[in-house]
A and B are shown apart, each in its own frame.
Chain A
Amino acid sequence: MEILKSIYEVAGFIVLIALGVGALEGYFYYHFKYWDRPWFFPAALAAFPAAAVVAASAITGSYAFSLWVYFLLAETAIAAAFRYAVKGRHTVPYLLLAPAFVGLALLLVYPFVFEVYLSFHDLKLNTIMMWKNTGTIPFAGLSQYVKVFTTSPLSEVTFWELLGRTLVWTFSNVFFHVLGGFALALLLNNSIRFKGVYRTFLVIPWAMPQVVAVLAMRGEFHSQYGFVNIVITKLLAVFPFLASLGVAPVQWLSDYPLLTCTIINIWLGIPFMMVVILGGLQSISSSYYDAADIDGASYFQKLRFITVPLIKPVLMPAVTLGTVWTFNNINVIYLVTGQAGGTEQADILVSALYKAAFTYNRYSYSAAFAIVVFALLFFISVTYLHGFDAAKEER
């Protein structure tokens, strides 16, 4: 029965989506078809907002008036756009795009705008019931942004510490990803046997579900039963002199959480870089190397003057993507340190943001924090891409 009920629920939902898409298409189609009739404006302004109010009051029961005002404004803009700008042209592409872009507007653009709104108000555990019932939140002005820089998102660590940690985390991860990926790709690019098999094995950390991979690795860093400490203990038993060099089993998760997370994330990220770089290496024509061989170039000269320059167009986008991913990586850090009593010594900006919102229930604060992080990331990417473009033009 349970199963039947859930199938029914999902089938109903898919039908709902299909109907919604159909209604949306019909709605836009109406604009395309009748944009030049004299009754177009009055009909559009009367019919659709009225329908929206009926639908909204059926679902929520309140705010009918404010919804009507919003929809009237939006509908006026849409109708005017069709009448004076679109003029019935480009019907097919706009109708094809409509469902996807309405979806993006509702679930990507609107949340973003809502986050900006939140960041200027004060939504926290005390005010959330009020917001749930009446829809109003006390206005807070810029005070949330001031708090971002003056108070800690968690219990101790400050914004600036988090920023520094994030930069170190991003840089060290991407550096080792590229280094490891490049080395492995160079090795695999030789004509050797079992290449496909090796490649498959080497991709496994990337292919495993990240939750499983990270939780398994977390187990391996357990102070007593984890693989790492077992190996250290066994090594010490065989080579006692290592102890005088300071080698000893370590409480990885409580003493060096950030290092642990970094090691785990390096392990996770190398395969992606390896595969991308390998693809790039295979597309380099062998005639360059033949020419270099005739000129008597050494291996490292070939690497420096042929491989690296030719791999750059493939490598740069991958590095950009990897940087953004690493900067935004909540998963690894949250899964390693996120449990009750978890440390905050490993948190970077985004994971602190997540914990501030959902462990400490400071919603507006975390919204302001998110806007600051987004601005930072945006600034970094724009300068970086700008520099990349400039370098491209010089060549």
Chain B
Amino acid sequence: MSARTAELGPSPHAGASVAPSSGRPGGRGYGRQARYYGFVAPALLLMLSVIVFPWLFTLWMSVQDWQIGQRHSFVGLANFAKILTDERFRDAVVHTVYFTVLAVALPVVFGTAAAVVFNEKFPLRGFLRGIFIMPMMATPVAVALVWTMMFHPQLGVLNYLLSLVGIPPQLWVYDQSTVIPSLVLVEVWHWTPLVMLIVLGGLAALPAEPYESARIDGASAWQMFRYITLPLVLPFIMVAVIIRTIDALKAFDTIFVITQGGPGTASETINLFLYQQAFSFFNIGYASAVVVVFFAIIVALSLVLLVVWQKTRWT
């Protein structure tokens, strides 16, 4: 997940700087760039050889009626038609959207705030920053198991902490209405550091001049943040949004370990639904059709976000 960080990370400012370099010796536009394709070939071939077969296999399975242990038969697009009328799938889409919106927005807000703090110099900064980014490196399965214990409605430490400040016990992941926000809490804990790192990269690159002149004009700290910092790091924040969106859509480990999509189906996202169909019901054909649709959704959404990102980058 997270690692497209740097990738998209540094590039926001790079757009302008690379353009002029094409007048150098030996180079004539397209041909000069094309000779670098050889560098890309090994990675590309390797990736394709790993993913092309699964893709083709998935496409083939998606037009089969196939349950493990039974014979499979060609059914055309019937699986896709079934998706359209499947209430469980529709619910899963709703849960996914709900989860994704929260699991993108909150880490982005908190991560940006944390980046602003860590951009300052203060004692023990490095150490504390190291502590802060630990959650992102922690093994999701292991951490999810610990969160499960913390969420326990009767014996969990979270309810105890709430009781200390006079808040009545919550049911957390043990109730349909609070399960998704509770899972988002884990997600926020896990991935806010990633957003922080990306935005921190942006803050480090900020020019000093606008601040100097703003200060001379008597701007407040908030005004400087709002009118100088925010617009300048916006491309970085958008990168974080894109990465978080893809990751939140695909979130699996945490939900699987903590709720398995429950209570009932209240936290069954598309990915969990997919897992259920493929590995619990063994409806391989149908599950493959869901994969195809799910993949299309992620690609479409990523493209939209990429376009938005391009816009923030060039204005």
* A and B are partners in one complex rather than unrelated chains: no
A residues near B (Cβ < 8 Å) are: none
B residues near A (Cβ < 8 Å) are: none
